[in-house]
Structure 1
Amino acid sequence: MEIIKKVLQSNKQWAEKVALQEPEFFKDLAKVQNPEILWIGCSDSRVPADRITGTLPGEIFVHRNIANLVIHTDVNFLSVLDYAVRHLHVKHVIVCGHYGCGGVGAALSNHNVDLVLNMWLRQIKDVYMLYEQELDGIKDETLKARRLVELNVVEQVKHLAKTSIIQRAWKHEQIPHLHGWVYGLEDGKINPIYEMHPGEPLDPIYQYDDI
């Protein structure tokens, strides 16, 4: 229970400090939510979106899951994406992975991590299979895991572009721009590795012509 007391006390101190520095901050924040960014990140406790980007409450709309996956059957994720794109009109969607990701490391192994996690990590194993030749050529296991982190981010950005949610917004509003980033736990820096912009071509099988 000590950690709970500590968290609550820290919240109180933070709220009082902010209110002292900017008396209208919370009143203004409560009136409207107008973020320009949707952040799709890993649930890892070492990668908090606001802390590593230096942003304030209200500036980033956030969805997090293990290994920052974009899964077309995940209703939780899709509801966040739909709300952010159609109602908040975010200008950017960022998929941010991180080096040293436990989910990616587990997917690289052949260990059984029980039913639900096995199903979840299967998505990363599928990414591995797409780039099997390249990854099998990397003998250093740490470097292989780092590369799979990057490739996983690339594929999740591509998955975003395949959704009707993104394609509809691209057609009618020419936003959002899609970004793939990787955060370094060892140095705290973000590495932008991939981008997709409104109107970029997709494989025809994934394109919707009546949205």
Structure 2
Amino acid sequence: MIKLVLLLILAYLMGSVPAGLWIGQLFFKKNLREYGSGNTGTTNTFRVLGVKAGIATFAFDFLKGTVATLLPIFFGISDISPMIFGLLAVLGHTFPVFANFRGGKAVATSAGVVLGFAPAFFGYLFVLFFLTLYLGSMISLASILSAFLAIIGVLLFPLFHFLLPHYDPLFTLVITLLGSLIIVRHKDNIARILARKENLVPWGLNLTKQKPKI
């Protein structure tokens, strides 16, 4: 019981490590909260600190979700779903104890959780994300749409035994919660997308003709 509690706490603490914030402070002498969107996640890190810092932040945020989800497997715990550990990692990322409970938008860490628990479902979301990113040139739109379609997929795919062979009530619940969290935390992005003023990446077709403020 003590081991289980310690591992659950560890999952939250792993998620709480604010990679982008610390990379900015340690290597660039910049506080990400004072630049760009003020967010400490991957997108703002790319925009403010550059490609290398962005890649490092994404990799860390993604892998902490995967590793946290695999903790019960690593330590031989079978009486609690790995998704609980993954959910705690995402909550840690979103409300990090090491950064005054002000974290990222949960996209990369949630993706890491899905990879750790359901790799085939992750592959489906991976394709959707990059297809949407190419068509729209917006990481925010790709994140929002992937989160929405993750919820739809987890509800419908088990009916057809496609990617998810059967219903896992806890997996369904956690994916629905994570997808909803991602969408809610992108509410400002949604407003900018509707106003056609969302920030773009220099890749893709920008089919919605966004014209962000310079």
Query: TM-score, normalising length from structure 1?
Result: 0.30
State the structure with more CA Rg: 1
Indicate the structure with greater strand content.
1
Query: TM-score, normalising length from structure 2?
Result: 0.29
